[in-house]
Chains A and B, each alone.
Chain A
Amino acid sequence: MCETCGCGDPHSHEHDSANPHSHGHVHDSSHGHPAPARTLSVQKPALALNQRLADQNRGWFRAKGLKVFNLLSSPGSGKTTLLERTLRDIPRAAAIVGDLQTENDAVRLRASGAQAVQITTGATCHLDAHMVAHALEKLDVDGLETLFIENVGNLVCPASYDLGEDRRVVLLSVTEGEDKPLKYPVIFRNADLVLVTKCDLAAATGFDREKALASIRQAAPRAKILEVSARTGAGLDAWYAWLAG
């Protein structure tokens, strides 16, 4: 039984109610003709539970005075490298990081001196609000001002899950296709900031900057765009100013 969210309850309820119904189904189909049916209105989002837990997380973050950023991108676009540098450069920040397996990213991030909590999702392709709520139990938030949640590298599923964050940051590295925002419109649509990363590699990869910026503006018309390199430090001042804003 989970004290944060009561997560033992819905599952046991579902299991309790699952078994007896098979009798009803067998009985009903034995008539050999379709029985009249009635419609019951439900109107319930599939992610209602996640939304409830995300709202709880958000309330908790507010109460603790934490500003929270959800970082989303494809694998290998530089989320962890950006955070390694960011956690060294800005004070009173910590990270929660999600991967399918290994503690590697949290170990990398802790080398900055900041707290980092790893969530290993097993086979799950995204973080959800429930996983984040439990990760928060392992975090000492006294004195913290900024929390980064590095999502599982994936441009599809994490878009659907509110974690309770204040802002969503989507990364696009110059080693990816310039039209990626158009191919994955849902995740870019909800971005507050799009960070173009690895800008030090732009010349080597033949990155078409104007085409990429146009793609981002089309897919994420409401997002601010910043160009950075965590390796050289280019553009990081603007990133830190945005975080503080």
Chain B
Amino acid sequence: MHELSLMTNLLDDAVAAAAGAPVRAMRVRVGPLSGIVVDSLRFAFEALSPGTPADGARLDIEETAPSLHCPRCGTDFSTPVGSYDCPSCGATDGELRSGNELELVSIEVPDHV
């Protein structure tokens, strides 16, 4: 529901990183536990990017899998969202190491600028 405001942040960061150059592409990493709907994020990009230096840019979205660590047996594992059971020992309280991220990984700018 707040994909518009988050895309505003991502676009601002992309424009700032481009430092005056047009933004050709943005690579955004989205974790499955971020609560972000990728389609909504794309819609927000289409709605917000026109008129900015990222107008017409390519939006690359990298979707990650949840990464968990079992505090009982030390196994690192990945499971579907909503299930955190350790596949080795069955403990149900895996610690989330990643999967809730939403971040601007990189941008592309023209080579000659």
A interface with B by C-beta (< 8 Å): 10, 13-14, 17-18, 20-22, 24-25, 28-29, 35-49, 124-126, 154, 156-157, 159-160, 182, 185-187, 189, 217-219, 221-222
Contact = CB atoms under 8 A, between A and B. Distances in A.
A46 B104 contact: yes
Contacts of B24: 37
B88 interface: no
B33 A35 contact: no
A182 B82 contact: yes
Contacts of B108: 37-40
A24 B21 contact: yes
A28 B22 contact: yes
Contacts, number: 135
Contacts of A17: 15-16, 20
Contact of A25 (B5, B10, B34, B56): B56
Interface residues of B, number: 49
Contacts of B81: 185-186
B106 A25 contact: no
Contacts of A24: 20-22, 53, 113
Interface string B6-20: 110110111111101
A101 B97 CA distance: 37
A40 B104 contact: no
Interface in B51-94: 51-53, 55-56, 81-84, 92-94
Contacts of A22: 51-53, 55
Contacts of A157: 1-2, 35
B6 A47 contact: yes
B98 to A, nearest CB: 12
A45 B102 contact: yes
7 contacts: A17-B20, A21-B22, A22-B53, A35-B110, A39-B107, A42-B17, A45-B103
B25 interface: yes
Given A18-B15, A22-B53, A126-B2, A39 B106 contact: yes
A222 B33 contact: no
Contacts of A182: 82
Nearest to B31: A186
Contact of B92 (A40, A124, A221): A221
* Central interface residue in A10, A49, A189, by most chain B CB within 10 Å: A189
Given A17-B15, A38-B111, A42-B17, A217 B92 contact: yes
